[in-house]
Amino acid sequence: MKLGIINGWDEGSFRYVSDLGLEAVEFCCNHNYDSMEVAGHVAEIRRYSEKYNVAVGSIGRWGQRRIDEDGHVIPSAMQHDKNLIDAASALGCPVFNAGVNATPGKSFEENCKIAVDYFGTLLDYAKGKNVKIAAYNCDWENFVVNDPAWTAVLGALPELGIKYDTSHCLGRRGDYLSEMKKWGERIYHFHIKGSLYIDGEHYDDPPAGLDQVNWGAVFNMLYTKGYNGMLSIEPHSGRWMGVRGQWGVEFTIRFIRPFIMPADYSFNGTPYMP
């Protein structure tokens, strides 16, 4: 697994990620950005990646409305996704994250069929480009966030994966370990984001390690389900900003690193067997 963080695509962002001692960066080229801000600058982004030895571990587009009120694909939204898939391919980035919004007035089954068609188009476009497609489990212009939508959509598309974040599951009062037990083999990208609920209400998304997520159990699920992708730190708290926020990022790095088995780990002798 590679530890990284969400950040920008300019040289200063790569320098910052490198200075933290991290291996990868995630780009969130969301609905408020033109996809060409990334896709139109792959040559310079590749230079930054090589210069600072920081891989581009994930590219995603959150908050994009992809389906109109009649249930039809919005062409510009599809083009933005295709642009970013091309960018991911050019940058050696292994996964692109997207969502599909539900159409009011359509049944659940109809919306699932629309989502299958949309994600299927992305999967077809990504063939031969060494880029996997993942549905993010955030509900920002997206309904493919958990079961029964996963069963319907991922069940119809065996190559479609999940970008998983425990905080979104907790926000829906779900059981993230149960979801990871059932769907862990389909996780293509993973966010490290803390969550804290008090008296049944959301209080904060603090740095991981200063929250209530059972990170030991989460990593057990990642390992036993065969996950070996990027672990992307997502600073997300309005209470942890400025100097305290920076300390929180560094705390999270120190907290998470012991959970990561070194890629070059070896053992001279007979490995432990229960």
Q: What is the pLDDT of residues 40-83, one digit of tens each?
A: 999 999 999 999 999 999 999 999 999 999 999 999 999 999 99
Q: Which of 194, 196, 64, 71 is nearest to 136 (CA)?
A: 64
- pLDDT at position 216: 98
Q: Which of 258, 212, 251 is nearest to 233 (CA)?
A: 251
Q: Which of 46, 51, 49, 54 is nearest to 21 (CA)?
A: 54
The position carrying tokens 């079961």 is 147
Beta strand spans in the chain (E): 2-6, 24-28, 55-60, 95-98, 132-136, 161-164, 187-192, 196-198, 201-204, 230-233
- Please state the domain extents for the chain: 2-259
- Whether 273 shows a pLDDT value over 80: the answer reads no
Q: By percentage, how much of the chain surpasses pLDDT 90?
A: 96
The position carrying tokens 């990284």 is 4
- The whole-angstrom separation of Cα 242 and Cα 46 is 29
pLDDT, tens only, 174-188: 999 999 999 999 999
- Whether 268 shows a pLDDT value over 90: the answer reads no
Across the range 210-227, mean pLDDT stands at 98
pLDDT band at residue 105, thresholds of 50, 70 and 90? very high
- The whole-angstrom separation of Cα 176 and Cα 98 is 20
Q: Which residues, 6 or more positions from 203, have their beta carbon under 8 angstroms from its beta carbon?
A: 196, 197
Across the range 196-225, mean pLDDT stands at 97
pTM exceeding 0.75: yes
pLDDT, tens only, 4-40: 999 999 999 999 999 999 999 999 999 999 999 999 9
- The whole-angstrom separation of Cα 90 and Cα 97 is 16
Token pair recorded at residue 37: 């801000």
pLDDT band at residue 215, thresholds of 50, 70 and 90? very high
- pLDDT at position 270: 85
Across the range 122-142, mean pLDDT stands at 98
Q: Which fold has domain 2-259?
A: TIM Barrel (3.20.20)
Token pair recorded at residue 252: 């999270």
Across the range 236-254, mean pLDDT stands at 97
Which residues does residue 95 pair with via DSSP β-bridges, in sequence order?
A: 132
